[in-house]
Structure formats: C-alpha cells, structure tokens
C-alpha cells in the first residue's frame, strides 16, 4: 500500500479516537490521511494533537455529528460503549442513538464511505468450533452484541438505501502482544487480531474502490479461525501478518 501525497490525502474522521483502537490507528495513519480525531468531551485527547485536528463531540448530539462530518471523505466509526457486560441504559446513548447519529450525519454530509467497527460479539452465541461466515445469521449473547447487530443493520440500510458506501468490520479480540500474553481464563487464540493487522484492514477499508454495503470479519492469521476471512482477503486484499499459530503468538 503506497502512501498518498499531501495533495491527494482524503480527510478521514475517526470517532472514538482516544480509545485503544482509535489512538493506535491515529498514530499509524497520521502521514497517510488528513485526520479529524474526535471523542467524548471528557476523554483525554492530549496525545492526539500530534496526528491531526482534534474535536470533542458527544455522539448523542446530532448537530455535533453533522459538524464533525463536514468536508469528510471517510468516517471510521470506532466510538461507543466497549464493555460486553454493559447494561441497556449505558449502551443505548452511545451504541444505538449515537450510531444512528453518526450514520445519518455522514450520509447527510455526502461522505463517500463509513467504516463501522462491529464486533465478534454480534455472533459470539455460536459454538467456538464453528467457523462463522459473514453470511451466517447474527447470534449475539449479550446486549452489547445486540447493539453491534444494530450497527451492522444500520450499515446495510445506509449502504444500500442511502447512497453512502459502508464497510462493517466484525473485529475479534483486539490485543497488543503484551496484553495477549497476560490474558488468563479467556480463550482468544481463535479470534485474536493485532493492532498492526487491524490498522492494515482499516486502511484497506478506507481505500477500497467500491460502493454499497460490505461485511468482513477481522482477525489475524490464526491457525484456528473462528471468523472466516474470505471477504477480507478476496475483496479488500487483506494480508494479516500476526496471529496465534498452534497456540503460540506470533506478533510484534
């Protein structure tokens, strides 16, 4: 993947930019795009100023989302309540109302694409020994997973009915090498994805030359793959370099 020149760099809005995924992607992509980095007003975004324009905004404020999406080519929507055990009162503002506000603002502003961070939790109700295709029905086991299913449905609606290209990434267990090696009591080797691999996939989603709606699974090159990567590989050209191989982690 070649780096674009300054004159050709699209403006990319990243919501949830102060979070685990967003902050690492901002650092990775700062030289490639003109970044607009946003998170909730109470988030610490001081480290993000080195990577682009920084704007505080609340997902539940439609006017703020409209302003964020102005003059933007692609929205990478990473923001939302991230805890799988969160209750409905916590999930509703960010993961349902906020997701709608972002999709609606992006479509209304004429953005070319929205990349939505979905989650393996949309299908975590399936047995671990089943390989899940993107064509399999959703199967959440938590209300958090239900909100990710809602976001995927929003993506299909906006991608097929509202004229904005939408790519939903069903992200597995996102962990740095250090954190992956310290996890105890929770199996992640079949759904692991490294920051390096997700950064690559986000870039490929941003720069994909297509329209409509696309769903892809997002994990690293694990020898046991709970999420099938066919669409990520064949449509987006994704080539993961990290992963769990025979139970051993290979990653930076």
Cβ neighbourhood burial of 44 (10 Å; 0-12, 13-18, 19+) = exposed
The beta-strand segments (E) located in 101-231 are 113-119, 165-171, 173-174, 192-193, 213-218
Catalytic residue among 51, 100, 144, 192: 144
The verdict on whether 144 is a catalytic residue reads yes
The Cα 94–Cα 38 span in angstroms is 14
Q: Is 175 helix (H, G, I), strand (E, B) or coil?
A: coil
The Cα 31–Cα 34 span in angstroms is 8
Compute the half-sphere exposure of residue 4: CA atoms within 13 Å on the CB side of its CA.
Answer: 15
Q: What is the DSSP letter of 202?
A: H
Distances (CA, A) of 26 to 17, 54, 59, 235, 244: 7, 11, 19, 24, 25
| Residues contacting residue 17 through CB under 8 Å, at least 6 positions apart | 23, 25, 26, 37, 38, 39, 45, 48, 54, 78
Residues labelled as active-site residues: 144
């Amino acid at each position: 993947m070649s780096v674009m020149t300054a004159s050709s760099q699209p403006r990319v809005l990243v919501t949830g930019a102060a979070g685990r995924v967003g902050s690492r992607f901002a650092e990775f992509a700062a030289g490639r795009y003109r970044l607009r980095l946003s998170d909730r007003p109470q988030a610490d975004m001081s480290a993000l100023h080195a990577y682009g324009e920084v704007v505080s905004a609340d997902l539940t404020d439609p006017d703020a989302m409209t302003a964020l999406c102005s003059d933007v080519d692609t929205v990478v929507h990473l923001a939302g309540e991230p805890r799988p055990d969160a209750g409905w009162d916590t999930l509703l503002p960010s993961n349902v109302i906020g997701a709608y506000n972002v999709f609606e603002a992006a479509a209304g502003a004429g953005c070319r694409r929205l990349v939505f961070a979905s989650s393996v939790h949309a299908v975590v109700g399936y047995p671990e020994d089943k390989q899940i295709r993107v064509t399999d029905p959703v199967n959440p086991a938590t209300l958090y997973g239900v909100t990710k299913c809602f976001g995927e449905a929003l993506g299909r609606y906006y991608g097929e009915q509202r004229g904005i290209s939408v790519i939903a990434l069903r992200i597995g267990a996102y962990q740095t090498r250090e954190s992956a090696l310290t996890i105890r009591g929770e199996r992640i080797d079949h759904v692991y994805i490294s920051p390096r691999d997700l950064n690559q996939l986000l870039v490929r989603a941003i720069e994909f030359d297509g329209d409509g709606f696309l769903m892809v699974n997002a994990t690293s090159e694990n020898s046991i793959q709970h999420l099938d990567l066919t669409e990520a590989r064949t449509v987006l050209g994704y080539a993961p370099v990290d992963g769990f191989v025979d139970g051993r982690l290979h990653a930076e």
